[in-house]
Structure 1
Amino acid sequence: MEVMLGVRFLASEYPTGRWHRGRIDTLGLDENNTPVVIEFKKGSDSGVLPQAVSYLTWLHSARFEFEALVKERLGSEAVESIDWRNPRAICIAAGFSHHDRVAVLDSPRPIDLVRYRVFDGGLLSLLLVESGAGSATSVPPQPRRRRTPLGSGNEGELALPQATTGPAPACLRDLYGELDEALTAWGEVEVRMLRHYVAYRLMVNRASVIFRPSHGVILTYLSLDPDTVVLEEGFSRDMRGIGHLGTGDLEVRIASAADLEKAGPLIRRAFEAA
């Protein structure tokens, strides 16, 4: 689950109680610390979507029960980091109808539709076919897109995550615009503005971006094995075993157009590995 979906396992066939009368196929916590409901269907089943929405409704009412489960499985520190703003669902089936795909885009809850295929030799593939961001998101991202203007109150102004302090200088805003283009050039990349960073996803996070305006730098964490990279002091760093916001083991510091050009091959490798 962690490798293919970016979700840490909590429980399977989890009972939702006598009033809701259901069993959730899988409960988990994703790499962005968001609660996740996963529903599996063998073959194509148009009933998977309303079932997932129903379980998300239950999850909102069972916050303390879910937190107790996280504490039991992952520890107290994981409970403190849970982001309750937008619990999401992942529906996995052999196929989805046109109506399912349209409904997901207009759903008030974030829902991913994932198609599975099983091949000879026991090989399994998962493909994200549709992703709805949910209308409850405080800064709603546009799912599955190539270009990402992250605006705030003033046109052209960069909206920064809460962990960022100080105004973003114009040079950093322009640089981020170029970085965003580089990060969304690899297929239908989903961009999510989270509490402390911006996540770029292809099923799972491939990159996360954190702004440091006071230092005039953008930190980009890539899902790339640092052992496969020739590290350069002041530009790239192995983050394994070092606590940091965002996801990804390779840190790349971008402070100029030259840094961004140098980061291009690393960004390409991170997304091609998906």
Structure 2
Amino acid sequence: MSGLRLFRTDTTNSGMAEVMPRLAEVESDVQGLVEANMETLLGVRFLASEYGTGPLHGGRIDSLGLDENGSPVIVEYKRGTDAGVINQGLFYLAWLMDHRAEFEHLVRDRLGVTAVSQVLWSGPRLICIAGDFTRYDVHAVREHRRSIDLVRYRLFGSELLGLETVASVSSAMQASHRARRHSVAQAVAGVQGSAMAELTGAVDEVLLGLGDGVNRVERKQYRAYQRLRNFACLCPPQRTKLLVYLKVNPKGVDLVPGFTRDVSGLGHHGTGDLEVQLRTPRDVERAQDMFRASYAAA
């Protein structure tokens, strides 16, 4: 995986033993691992496996799910490299957009009525998980107006699974950086021109700039910043502060009253157990290490 080498400490000989990467024996092995642990691996709630698209389309979607922001998700798997995986996934994505009521009925059956009300049809996602992708795959993804993630997998020994995001594009990323900043200003129209509007713009710029493939998802109650999974959720500005929720374990952070707070087990909009309270540009600087840690873990 991009030259990554994994070693296990050999306590017997006081040395190191390399764990060699390998592909799955069959595609279904990868599918089974991901479906059994989809929320942990992808931030997606599992809905169905091998979902039939009916006699007209004559296909079967490998996995259907709903991500943590309410976006419908199709996951397609290939054991190795397969040039057809993206087109196959886009074919199913088109089917999904034409069968919204059927998908919502599935969500109701699996997750309940509340989950149906949170389905976000503006940003359905396709996640392709394969042994590898070509440069042509990466280029093709960037030319589409859909949210697509290309994820390379490797198995290490009998216990370890590695996932690496090769490319990640959302429909929202087609806009320029300038347009993104403009939309930020619109999102905080109630405080436009104030210090909070400027602070919101600064936080947005920092989070989008953490690396390639950062997608932004707009919900009424929060704005999510996402790789495969959410790594930050920014709530609408309050009078004197911004609240950002991160996927960082609060137990590993030296909590500072008035700046960071453990909200695990507490209800709040967005996802993440670490709340960061931002009041000044200096607070944004103080929070950047936590932003990076959450980004790296997503």
Output the TM-score relative to the length of structure 2: 0.79
Where does residue 64 of structure 2 map in the other structure?
Answer: 27
| 1:174-185 → structure 2 map (5 Å cutoff) | 174-184=198-208
Q: Give per-residue Cα distances to partners, 1:108-133, cap 9 Å, x unaligned.
A: 22111111112223321111111222
Which whole-Å CA distance do the structure 2 matches of 1:167 and 1:57 have between them?
39
Q: Which residue number corresponds to residue 201 of structure 1?
A: 226
Corresponding residue number in structure 2 for 1:137:
none
Structure 1 window deviating more from structure 2 (102-111 vs 254-263): it is: 254-263
**Contact 2:69/2:219, CA 8 A, preserved across alignment:** no
> What is the Cα-based RMSD across aligned positions, in Å?
2.4
Alpha-carbon distance between aligned partners in 2 of 1:26 and 1:273, rounded to the nearest angstrom: 23
Give the % identical residues: 44
- C-alpha spacing 1:107/1:272, structure 2 compared with 1 (3 Å): closer
Name the structure 2 match of 1:232.
Answer: 256
Distance 1:148 1:11 in 2: 39
Aligned to 1:108: 145
Alignment pair present for 1:46 and 2:83: yes
> CA 1:86–1:187 in 2, change beyond 3 Å: closer, same or farther?
closer
> Quick one: distance in 1 between partners of 2:112 and 2:47?
11
Alignment-derived partner of residue 151 in structure 1: 181
Q: Which moved more, 1:124-133 or 1:260-269?
A: 260-269
Which protein is richer in helix relative to its size?
A: 2
Aligned counterpart for 1:64 among listed residues 97, 101, 121: 101
Number of residue-to-residue matches in the alignment = 260
Task: Between 63-72 and 258-267, report the one with greater CA deviation.
Answer: 258-267
Q: Which of these two proteins has the greater Rg computed from alpha carbons?
A: 2
Unpaired runs of 5+ in structure 2? 1-37
The CA deviation at 1:11 is 0.6
Contact 2:76 2:127 survives alignment (8 Å): yes
Q: Specify which of 152, 165, 174 is matched with residue 128 of structure 1.
A: 165
Q: For 1:82 and 1:75, locate their aligned partners in 2 and report how far apart those are by CA, in whole Å.
A: 12
Distance in 1 (alpha carbons) for counterparts of 2:153 and 2:69: 23
TM-score by length of 1: 0.85
Q: Match of 2:190?
A: 166
3-state DSSP of counterpart to 2:235: strand
The separation in 2 between residues aligned to 1:190 and 1:273, in whole angstroms, is 13
Read off the aligned partner of 1:231 and give its amino acid letter.
Answer: L
